[in-house]
Amino acid sequence: MLKRIVAWDNRMLRKIASKHTPVLNKILVPVTYSGNNGYIWFALSIPLLIINKYRVTGFTLILAMVISALAGEVTIKHIVGRVRPCSREFEKDLLIKHPAHYSFPSGHTSSSFAVTMVMLFMMPALFVPVLVYACLMAFSRMYVLVHYPTDVIAGMILGTVCGCVAVAVSPYIPLFSI
């Protein structure tokens, strides 16, 4: 079963790599960079933290990203230890600097979907644009050939769970009621 999943991952990445164009590169490379260290999502949370009415949402976004990072980057990536596709077959096609850490799950995708879930529950008016950007982020990680499709799928699932956990626990954190 694992061999079939790996074969599917590689087949899908070959198809994605065959679609590289200068126009898509100019769109998707900056999208992927905007997810480094959660920059785009921290940029979203700052105005929310400043506006008293949305402060709890801003704190919950940060909580969701922290939970996502602890679960994915600190824990799961080191347990699974999956080598990135750009370390194997796709190194010659790499569009960004080779990331230093493991591949599974996609941290960019996980944080993006964690934020998406917070927005769904706490600011539904922004849910659709955040979801669209999260999906673009997820696709960009495959497009730049640093993640397999299953890394991205796992990141979507992990981020969704982490976002829901953050929304569920944030009312019980005294700091969030400031």
32 is a domain residue = yes
Identify the domain containing residue 127 by its residue range: 27-171
Tokens (6 digits) for 98: 């080779």
Nearest to residue 122, comparing CAs of 37, 174, 55, 46?
55
**Cβ neighbours around 10 below 10 Å, total:** 16
Whether residue 69 lies inside any domain: the answer is yes
Q: Closest Cα partner for 25 from 135, 144, 106?
A: 144
Q: What type of residue is 119?
A: M
Q: Does residue 148 form part of some domain?
A: yes
Q: What is the pLDDT of residue 86?
A: 75
Q: Are 46 and 56 in contact (CB under 8 A)?
A: no
Q: Tell whether 74 is covered by a domain.
A: yes
Q: What is the pLDDT of residue 173?
A: 82
Which pLDDT value is given to residue 20? Answer: 86
Residue in 76, 144, 67, 143 with CA at minimum distance from that of residue 105: 76
Identify the pLDDT of residue 127: 96
Is 78 domain-assigned? yes
The per-residue pLDDT for 176 is: 58
Query: Does some domain include residue 14?
Result: no
> What are the per-10-residue average pLDDT scores of the chain (178 residues)?
85 88 90 90 93 91 96 92 76 68 90 97 96 96 91 96 95 71
pLDDT at residue number 94 = 66
**Domain contains 13:** no
Cα 167–Cα 133–Cα 142 angle in degrees, nearest 5 = 110
The predicted structure's pLDDT at residue 140: 94
Cα-Cα-Cα-Cα torsion 17, 78, 132, 34, nearest 10 degrees, comes to -80
Total domains, the chain: 1
| Nearest of 168, 156, 166 to residue 72 by alpha carbon | 156
Say if CB 172 and CB 127 are below 8 A apart. Answer: no
Per-residue model confidence (pLDDT) at position 2: 77
